[in-house]
Amino acid sequence: FPVTITQVETNQENKSITPIATTPPLALSNKRELEKREEKVIDRLQFTEDSVTITIYDNGVIDEDFISLVVNDQIIFDKVKLSASPLVYTLKRKEGNHYSIAFHAETLGTIPPNTGLIILTAGEKRKELLFTSDLEKTATILIELVKK
């Protein structure tokens, strides 16, 4: 399984630190095909900020859950293990601004189903969500970055 590395971007103007995923997205059409599953939308969110940081942890007991994080049909993290160390990815405003973030279970771990904690951070806003995915349903969040 690939190792996920994160780096930080420092904004000297407002002294903020933004984590950025350094694992390059893998286009589904250029990589493996994910099996089709029912999407279970767990939340629909709008943000006026230019970016949203998604931080993902295993929820509760660390039990060998593996996921693929898919954003708008691109695999961002492929078959990565959820743990107490976060997976971090930042959505940035661009044309379209509509994002479907899917938490595709690759395994169910030793304690099914596959569960995780998602923390969404945009500016001073913070939202925590729990997700559950299995081999039939994929937890999905729909995000829209709207102009102020």
For 74-114, write each residue's pLDDT tens digit: 899 999 999 999 999 999 887 678 999 999 999 999 999 99
22-55 burial, b for 16+ CB within 10 Å, e for fewer? Answer: ebebbeeeeeeebeebeebebeebebebeebbbb
Region 110-133: mean pLDDT is 95
Please work out, in degrees rounded to the nearest 5, the angle formed at the alpha carbon of residue 69 by the alpha carbons of 54 and 93: 50
pTM for the structure as a whole: 0.78
Backbone angles phi, psi at 72, to 5 degrees: 45, 50
